[in-house]
């Protein structure tokens, strides 16, 4: 029982034939259905779970699967294109995207074929890429944001930890679609790299929120009092973040 095994399959849900990705994941105990950022349905299941059971689970959740897939596809259709001149949000400011295609043949990065890179030059994010495909561009830009998040968000944790009298055992950068951050019982604070695409005040609120969970693993009055001692307008921050869900460029 080693790495995740992935297969592609399709199932009829109502009158629609729906392709999906089936993943058997080592040590997973429960079945999880999701629709990823590109509108693809995925079933992540325990190791001994088979395709027949996966189809049954999808059929039992037909309404949710079809509705969620349609919602993601509608969001994708409204999403601005990543072309030269597009504005990329970065905390309280923005960067201008500059896409520069380069031939892939003969270009190598170490032992691997060169696929592209993203680098900031002042107020411009220059993306040199071997492909103009939307997926490739998004992957390169996301990778750049993740690198920035690893440094900047860690700095915000260092800034607020002493004020709150807490210290996380570890800080990780993740890419959840439905959560801005989380805190584990072991003291690990996880922060979403997309916080680099929201105003500083909102990103700081999330950092403070998760750090406060190191003291209160709940949303009790004591927890909110601790949050409010550092972020008095936290309720406004919560509403602003809720309004941004599903509306970011990436």
Please report the DSSP string for 84-104 in residue order. TT-EEEETTEEEEEEEEE---
Residue 126 pLDDT level (bands cut at 50, 70, 90): very high
The pLDDT of residue 103 is: 55
Asked whether the beta carbons of 62 and 14 are under 8 A apart, the reply is: yes
pLDDT exceeds cutoff 60 at 22: yes
- Name the one residue in this structure whose structure tokens are 């996880």: 190
- Name the one residue in this structure whose structure tokens are 């890429």: 129
Which are the contacts of 52, defined by CB distance < 8 A and separation ≥ 6? Answer: none
Weakest-pLDDT range from 48-62, 68-82, 97-111, 162-176: 97-111
The pLDDT of residue 116 is: 80
What percent of the chain lies above the pLDDT cut of 70? 92
Residue 193 pLDDT level (bands cut at 50, 70, 90): very high
The pLDDT of residue 106 is: 44
Alpha carbons 2 and 131: distance in angstroms, whole number: 33
Among 18-27, 71-80, 113-122, 131-140, name the most confident range: 18-27
Looking at the DSSP bridge assignments, the partners of residue 13 are 16
Alpha carbons 18 and 11: distance in angstroms, whole number: 5
Domain boundaries defined on the chain = 5-78, 88-244
As a whole number, mean pLDDT of residues 153-182 equals 93
Q: Look over the chain and give the mean of its residue pLDDT values, rounded to a whole number.
A: 88
Closest CA to 36 of 11, 73, 82, 9: 73
Weakest-pLDDT range from 99-108, 116-125, 158-167: 99-108
For the domain 88-244, what is the CATH code? 3.30.2010.10
H runs (alpha helix) in the chain? 51-60, 62-78, 134-164, 200-212, 221-230, 234-244
Predicted TM-score of the model (pTM): 0.73
Residue 246 pLDDT level (bands cut at 50, 70, 90): low
Residue 132 pLDDT level (bands cut at 50, 70, 90): low
Is the sign of the CA dihedral 174, 99, 93, 37 positive or negative?
negative
As a whole number, mean pLDDT of residues 216-225 equals 95
Residue 72 pLDDT level (bands cut at 50, 70, 90): confident
The pLDDT of residue 134 is: 73
DSSP string, 132-166: --HHHHHHHHHHHHHHHHHHHHHHHHHHHHHHHT-
């Amino acid at each position: 029982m080693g790495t995740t095994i992935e297969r592609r399959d399709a199932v009829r849900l109502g009158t629609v034939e729906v392709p999906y990705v089936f993943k058997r994941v080592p040590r997973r105990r429960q079945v999880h259905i999701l629709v990823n950022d590109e509108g693809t349905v995925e079933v992540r299941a325990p190791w001994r779970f088979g395709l027949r059971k996966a189809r049954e689970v999808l059929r039992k959740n037909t309404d949710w699967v079809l509705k969620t897939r349609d919602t993601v596809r509608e969001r994708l259709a409204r999403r601005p294109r990543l072309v030269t001149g597009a504005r990329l949000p970065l905390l309280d400011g923005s960067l201008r995207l500059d896409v520069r295609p380069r031939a892939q043949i003969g270009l190598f990065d170490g032992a691997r074929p060169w696929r592209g890179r993203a680098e900031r030059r002042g107020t411009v994010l220059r993306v040199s890429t071997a492909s103009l495909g939307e997926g490739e561009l998004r992957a390169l830009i996301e990778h750049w944001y993740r690198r920035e998040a690893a440094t900047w968000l860690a700095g915000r944790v260092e800034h607020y930890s002493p004020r709150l009298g807490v210290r996380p055992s570890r800080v990780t950068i993740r890419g959840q679609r439905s959560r801005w951050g989380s805190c584990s019982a072991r003291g690990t604070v996880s922060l979403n790299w997309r916080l680099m695409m929201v105003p500083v005040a909102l990103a700081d609120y999330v950092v403070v929120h998760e750090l406060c969970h190191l003291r209160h693993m709940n949303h009790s009055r004591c927890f909110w009092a601790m949050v409010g001692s550092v972020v008095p307008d936290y309720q406004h921050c919560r509403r602003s973040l809720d309004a941004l869900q599903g509306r970011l460029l990436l």
